[in-house]
Amino acid sequence: MEELSDLALLGIGAGALVIVYLLRVMWGLRGGKPRAQPKRRGRKPSKSNISVIVDGSNVMHWGGEPSEIVLARVILAIIAKGYEPYVIFDANVGYKLRGKYLDDAPMAQLIGLPVKQVLVVEKGVVADELILQVATERGLKIVSNDRFRDWSVTYPIVRKKGQILRGTAKGGGVQWQGI
Question: Does the pLDDT of residue 32 top 70, yes or no?
Answer: no
pLDDT tens-place string over residues 135-167: 999 999 999 999 999 999 999 999 999 899 999
pTM tops 0.85:
no
**pLDDT value of residue 19:** 54
Question: Does the pLDDT of residue 33 top 70, yes or no?
Answer: no
Q: Are 166 and 144 in contact (CB under 8 A)?
A: yes
Which domains, from first to last, does the chain contain?
42-177 (3.40.50.11980)
Q: Which amino acid makes up residue 143?
A: V
**pLDDT value of residue 143:** 95
Q: Are 125 and 41 in contact (CB under 8 A)?
A: yes
8 or 131, which is more confident?
A: 131
pLDDT tens-place string over residues 1-16: 456 565 555 455 545 5
Cα(139)–Cα(77) distance, rounded to whole angstroms?
21
Cα(142)–Cα(135) distance, rounded to whole angstroms?
7
User: Mean pLDDT over all residues of the chain?
Assistant: 80
Cα(155)–Cα(123) distance, rounded to whole angstroms?
22
41 or 98, which is more confident?
A: 98
Lowest pLDDT segment from 41-55, 71-85, 122-136: 41-55
The pLDDT confidence band at residue 178, using thresholds 50, 70 and 90, is low
